[in-house]
Structure 1
């Protein structure tokens, strides 16, 4: 068996799908979505085609090692997202070739389902109680929301009280709440906000500071007992290594479409287990990314939560299940996502719909925000 074709597809609202086909006609799908940089990731596949067309797609680990180490430059969001999509597609292809799920090839299941959480509130959080109520009616028991809109480096303390009010509104609807600082909050405000929120009993605070500031994260970790989550902007086990060693992070959030795919994220999860750190994969993306996350949840004992993009504010015009033939596979049941039982990643993609969507490729970009004084604000 040899790889005959590697294709990429721009899929709305902001995804990049990958299709790998073998010379016997077996095909696998993956997701290399890197929000706002789909064109760069698609370009990286030129090098991957040169390397791997004609190679045996079943040799997933060898392909991963060559893709990562075979070029002089390695790592980073673009190259690792391309490798992630390729890796996912190879697991899908191999599973379909042998007629078994990826989790079966990875040692079998440690669980049958994983608790899921959904987003509420949008980029500039509002109508929290109503949104939380709607999620509860969908069967969710946990939600995540942005803590703030844009926030000055040193802002008005009154704004922090509004954050607490929004948390209480969601909790009042019976929800456990994770709060995403989204890297928007700088250390002078992040310390105050984390300390003020501590009595509210959050599931976690996410990216209280950007991962560019590991020393600041250590400081915040010494201030509060609230679990600290981080990792969507880390792209390999080597990126995660210093954060695990520092003891500042309680929950890591690797993105299976950014951090080298299922192969690398399984290694990252195993590293985290050695530090007694939980895993809650980042996934505000499409169905293939989520399906890969569920394969990780099936095989990694320290996975505790799974983010999903059903109804997320980014999904304008298209939603998580728009390109899936059997939506039930990725539909939450009583706030949990069942582990897929089908071969490969366990999700069947509507190829005709994907090819049609690709005819009008998206050009998704995140917004650029500014403070009231005209200076750049973190989004």
Structure 2
């Protein structure tokens, strides 16, 4: 324990933010300040809003950050699924960092100890062109030492292929228009006006309601793409697939049957996670393992899927699931149902290390996603530098998350242009108040 710190009198005094761009998306870093000079680091989920965290500042000021679960139970009502959980989870991560620093132990020790000294990484891989091009991109990952891979395989590959998709006329054109407007803007900036209108509604229509179907030609194309990938990588290394697209469960069944022979690690998020019965239907129709979870908030919302028996892999994101402790509990619960845990992670090294501690302390863990292996400056955002060696991250033994400092110069260089300066004052949130009791 740090002899200059008294954990019993530690108090939160401030919370501030820095929004960085391109890691790989916009990420909001958090600093929690205390009355004894300790600073805890957290992060809001990628492409979320700092407001989800800022609105909670008045509810945690003056609290002892070592009482992690107590504070989490106070603020968790303000979280929601996917990015709406970002504020609660980012604060929870920073609390664990402070608690570990105050008591002088790594977070994994506070979770009960570790099962492994290093954490296996899988890197989601993008590639333009055909299946052989993707196979070469994945083979390059293998040369870098990665032992587990993931790639996209879905309707995005078919958008420009004639006769591969069936949809109401004009629908696909509007989807393309929306993607060009929103995702191709500089620095990932989004005009709020783009979040309204028919194109936005169409792009955000749930899978079963889009009217998009794969044709036999489309199925042939995707199967051949996967076959070409395996011709390059071989069959020994696990490959998971993601981003099938918003197609109904019947089309997922047809595609999964075509892909069974290619030894997939899992098919990720084929339908919305809330549709438990559709997961059961899909699992009963194919031998391809199914995984989901990156958009699910709190362990109780994982239970129905686990009880259904449809999942082979549970795939939470620490910055959506509820933070470090909640993700650890989800892993333990999944183990009871014979389900392995992988961890979704598309954020900065702060969130990455939070996931590393969970992975180290969870027995049924398999692999952790890193979405930034092609971002050269990403490992340098923290000190010591986050090293990935032979496809693994070593589990830190330093207190808290294991971050001694943030690279403030690099953060200044990568600041998102649409947001305030790094660590600007947030006094406007100090006295935000509401009667938060949920019963009379």
Structure 1, gaps ≥5 residues long = 364-379
Shift of 1:282: 0.6
Shift of 1:266: 1.2
Structure 2 distance, partners of 1:94, 1:45, is: 19
- SS state at 2:28 partner: strand
Calculate the TM-score normalised by the size of structure 2: 0.74
- In the alignment, is residue 135 of structure 1 matched against residue 135 of structure 2? no
Q: Flag the 1:131–1:225 CA change in 2: closer, same or farther, 3 A.
A: same
2:430 matched to which residue of 1?
none
Residue by residue, what CA displacement relative to the aligned partner does 1:26-58 show, whole Å, maximum 9, x if unpaired? 0111111242x32xxx11223311111111111
Question: Match for 2:101 among 69, 73, 96?
Answer: 96
Which of structures 1 and 2 has the bigger CA Rg? 2
- In the alignment, is residue 162 of structure 1 matched against residue 224 of structure 2? no
Calculate the TM-score normalised by the size of structure 1: 0.85
Structure 2 distance, partners of 1:212, 1:125, is: 33
Structure 2 distance, partners of 1:138, 1:320, is: 17
1:337 matched to which residue of 2?
393
Structure 2 distance, partners of 1:309, 1:205, is: 18
1:25 matched to which residue of 2?
37
Question: Match for 2:56 among 25, 29, 48?
Answer: 48
Structure 2 distance, partners of 1:98, 1:12, is: 33
Q: Flag the 1:359–1:273 CA change in 2: closer, same or farther, 3 A.
A: closer
Structure 2 distance, partners of 1:78, 1:230, is: 16
- Provide the aligned length of Structure 1 versus Structure 2: 350
Shift of 1:132: 1.2
1:353 matched to which residue of 2?
410
1:292 matched to which residue of 2?
354
Q: Flag the 1:292–1:330 CA change in 2: closer, same or farther, 3 A.
A: farther
Q: Flag the 1:93–1:79 CA change in 2: closer, same or farther, 3 A.
A: same
RMSD: 2.3
Asked whether the 8 Å contact 1:124–1:149 carries over to 2, the reply is no
Asked whether the 8 Å contact 2:148–2:367 carries over to 1, the reply is no
Residue by residue, what CA displacement relative to the aligned partner does 1:275-304 show, whole Å, maximum 9, x if unpaired? 111110111222111111110111110111
Question: Match for 2:324 among 254, 257, 262?
Answer: 262
Shift of 1:321: 1.6
Asked whether the 8 Å contact 2:53–2:86 carries over to 1, the reply is no
Asked whether the 8 Å contact 1:227–1:250 carries over to 2, the reply is yes
Q: Flag the 1:319–1:205 CA change in 2: closer, same or farther, 3 A.
A: farther
Question: Match for 1:178 among 235, 240, 246?
Answer: 240
Shift of 1:74: 5.0
- SS state at 2:55 partner: helix
Shift of 1:79: 4.4
1:374 matched to which residue of 2?
none
1:65 matched to which residue of 2?
73
Residue by residue, what CA displacement relative to the aligned partner does 1:133-159 show, whole Å, maximum 9, x if unpaired? 221121112211111243642122222
1:6 matched to which residue of 2?
15
Q: Flag the 1:123–1:272 CA change in 2: closer, same or farther, 3 A.
A: farther
Shift of 1:225: 1.8
Q: Flag the 1:63–1:198 CA change in 2: closer, same or farther, 3 A.
A: same
Shift of 1:352: 4.0
Asked whether the 8 Å contact 1:291–1:330 carries over to 2, the reply is no
Q: Flag the 1:191–1:124 CA change in 2: closer, same or farther, 3 A.
A: farther
Which sits farther off after the overlay, 180-189 or 137-146? 180-189
Structure 2, gaps ≥5 residues long = 1-9, 159-164, 166-211, 421-440
